[in-house]
Structure 1
Amino acid sequence: MLQALIVLLTVSLIAVGIFIQPLLQRQHRERLKKQPLPPLWRALIEQNLPIYHQLSPNQRQRLQGHIQVFLAEKQFIGCRGLQVSEEMKVTIAAVACLLLLNERSTYFPKLKSILIYPDAYIVKQPAANGPYVVEERQEVRLGESWSRDQVLLTWQEIQADARNWRDGHNLILHEFAHQLDQEDGKAEGVPILKKRTDYVRWREVMSNAYDQLCQAVGRRYPTVMDSYGTKNPAEFFAVATETFFEKPRQLRAHHPALYTELEQYYQLDPAAWG
């Protein structure tokens, strides 16, 4: 009897914890959002996020709140001797949190750590060389998004992206779009959508735009989106996200259905920004 009561009490406490924990987290996040942004952070955002002043006052305020939460919850680790600075953390948070302005109320929940390299790094990848031989090859990379708990970025590339916002390439947007895609445990170019019926339209629009890009690249036609998007649907979503924020008018002109789908998902209209 005593054992049964102990088990029942334990289960009850776990159930209460499951209910209370998200509530406490939401309350803590709301408190963070209301804190004034340090002047240094504001200056860094204005310096390294070129489209910051194109946002509406309400969007800027919400972005600042998301940045506060992001910086409080994520760990930043310098690699290869790099000392992580306030500029690095705030810049990464500011760009990444653009993707959260659709008020999805999540903050890349699987992500715990952001590893920052000073510049391109090398990884060793197994590669098949014939039916029975597997060898290790070295690959140079600028960033990665892991489905478990990490994003890897290079500061040199982030600085270049801040100086060239309209070139359609943005490492932070790319890797954090992967994080959105990987929230459900799969990397297939389909983030979590609001309604079940949204998935049919998403897959139709994305598949058509992906096929168009593959055909254009195959025929060596000029494209608005980077050819890296032809690698697979997951990379296409990440590349489309970069293009949506950095070359919105060109994307809208060449792929109107894709632009509309991303506009509805991110709840933003970058083509209207200045």
Structure 2
Amino acid sequence: MAGKIIIGVTGAPVSRRAVDWAVTRAAQRRQAVELVSVVGGAVGAVGEAEVLGAAQTATQRLLDGEAARVADAGVPVTTRVESGNPVTKLIEAAADAALLVIGSDYRGPGTGPARGVHGIRIAAGAKCPVVVVPDRDLGEGMGIVVGIDGSEVSEHAIEFAAAEADRLGEPLIAVNVWTPVHTPRNAMEVYPDLYLANMQSTAEEVLALSVAGLSSRYPDLRIVRRVERGHPSQVLAGIAADARMVVVGTHGRGALARFLLGSISQELLSHLPTITAVVR
């Protein structure tokens, strides 16, 4: 993947995790990175210019420190300080980027309403793939999980995930989750065996077609196919909890694309079982 990686930088500890992950990837793929940090925009208050100036100076010091910290990686690093809304400014900064990487603002269950909202909004609006790094030690996860549904966006997610798996020498875990049709009078979820068998068979066929051709492009890639019954986001989160990354597509369309995100990708970003990539 050619092009620059944009990294959203804040003073939070998770920001360092995001920088480290992105710089490591950039070094392996010979990409440049740009560290971008955003301070609040002007609202017209008395004395505001002095406050903003001080904030921008402090923010530039933060970026300079991060650039110095990763200098030994041998990756070209530039920095940029922006003023305004963080979501909007990061989306704009990544308009021509190959990848946008941010640390999560998710604070875990029971800690208020802001459950990774910045990551969700940025993933919905960015033109490039967005990677969100959780604020915790991920341990020794294995495999790159990708959610598959047969759509065009899903194909983009598969290609991104396959390239990551090949780069890392990890297996690609391709997952297609099917859910029986819900009917109000079927609270016990009793379905004919033939219907369930057909759903399973169709999902297996979609999965097989989706990964066909990967072996020719990535001859050393090991592909693990999984077809599961259940709710897609729950199943993917469960599998991804033991993986290095999970990759899903976003289904935003048309003029409202920047405000819309598919329910599966949104729910994964709301819980972050591991490093999560959303691909348009």
Q: Return the structure number with greater strand share.
A: 2
Decide which structure has greater helix share. 1
Bigger relative CO (Cα 8 Å, ≥ 6 apart): 2
Normalised to the residue count of structure 2, the TM-score between the two structures is 0.27
